């Protein structure tokens, strides 16, 4: 009867020949575990190494869970990146905050209207010799003698105007109490006489126009105060009533 060979258990001490074999197996297990960790990218695989005396537990791998989570993140990233993002409004892009002023619309330049030409109102053929004056005496009998003209009164120095166009035939003291006088011949048989002037403004032979200043009111000669003694002569010294004569020529002297 053969003798049973002794069976070694975990508690049996290794012999000198068995120790190198166990050490080699342990080293191979360590190398394989390191290679597995590198292959998984160090991604959560837990490898338990055991000694030669105990059985190696099953390795718990998180590879499936890792791949699922990675796929989920990739899918969500693709969806989120595909959603159009509305651009945020820029403060400088606001139409109400634009700094550039709008370009003015060109409009057709209207041509300036031509200025109306100043027209000089034509001077009537006959005018009032001293406009605005008060009548102090009309043509007719006065104190038993003929007052041969119309007296017109304004303050001394008021301008006296030629009643119509003509030529000065006398300028100076006319005697007989008229004082400084001017006679204008109108070339139609009629003359006008302007007496009692303080100053004469024309000379004999001078042509004058209707309304031209020929002297200034005064009280020279026989006068009780400053006034113009105005006469109309139908031929020299043939005095007629100036009122109807001038009225017929659109001038009312107030008599």
Q: What is the pLDDT of residue 7?
A: 42
Q: Which two tokens stand for residue 176?
A: 């007989």
Q: Which two tokens stand for residue 254?
A: 């107030």
43-52, 71-80, 197-206, 243-252: which range is least confident on average? 43-52
64 compared with 216, residue with greater pLDDT: 216
DSSP at 114: P
- CB under 8 Å to 65, separation ≥6 — which residues? 44
Q: Is residue 5 scored above 70 in pLDDT?
A: no
Each residue of 139-173: b (16+ CB within 10 Å) or e? beeeeeeebbbbbbbbeeebebbbbbbbbbeebee
**What's the CA angle centered on 187, arms 182 and 193, to 5 degrees?**
20
- What confidence score (pLDDT) does residue 114 get? 76
**pTM assigned to the model:** 0.55
| The two three-digit tokens of residue 40, written as one number | 């998984």
Summarised one tens digit per residue, pLDDT across range 163-184 is: 999 999 999 999 889 999 999 9
* 156 touches 198 (CB < 8 A): yes
């Amino acid at each position: 009867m053969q003798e049973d060979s002794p069976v070694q258990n975990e508690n049996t001490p290794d012999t000198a020949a068995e120790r190198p074999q166990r050490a080699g197996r342990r080293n191979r297990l360590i190398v394989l575990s390191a290679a597995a960790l590198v292959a998984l990218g160090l991604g959560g695989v837990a490898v338990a190494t055991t000694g030669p005396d105990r059985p190696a537990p099953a390795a718990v791998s998180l590879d499936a869970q890792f791949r699922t989570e990675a796929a989920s993140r990739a899918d969500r990233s693709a969806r989120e990146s595909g959603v159009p993002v509305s651009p945020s409004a820029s403060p400088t892009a606001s139409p109400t905050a634009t700094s550039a002023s709008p370009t003015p619309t060109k409009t057709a330049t209207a041509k300036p209207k031509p200025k109306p030409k100043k027209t000089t109102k034509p001077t009537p053929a006959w005018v009032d010799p001293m406009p605005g004056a008060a009548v102090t005496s009309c043509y007719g009998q006065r104190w038993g003698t003929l007052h041969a003209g119309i007296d017109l009164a304004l303050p001394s120095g008021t301008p006296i105007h030629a009643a119509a166009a003509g030529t000065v035939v006398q300028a100076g003291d006319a005697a007989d109490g008229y004082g400084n006088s001017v006679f204008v011949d109108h070339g139609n048989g009629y003359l006008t006489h302007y007496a009692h002037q303080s100053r004469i403004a024309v000379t004999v032979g001078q042509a004058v126009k209707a309304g031209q200043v020929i002297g200034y009111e005064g009280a020279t000669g026989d006068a009780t105060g400053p006034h113009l003694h105005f006469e109309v002569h139908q031929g020299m010294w043939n005095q007629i009533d100036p009122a109807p004569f001038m009225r017929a020529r659109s001038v009312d002297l107030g008599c």
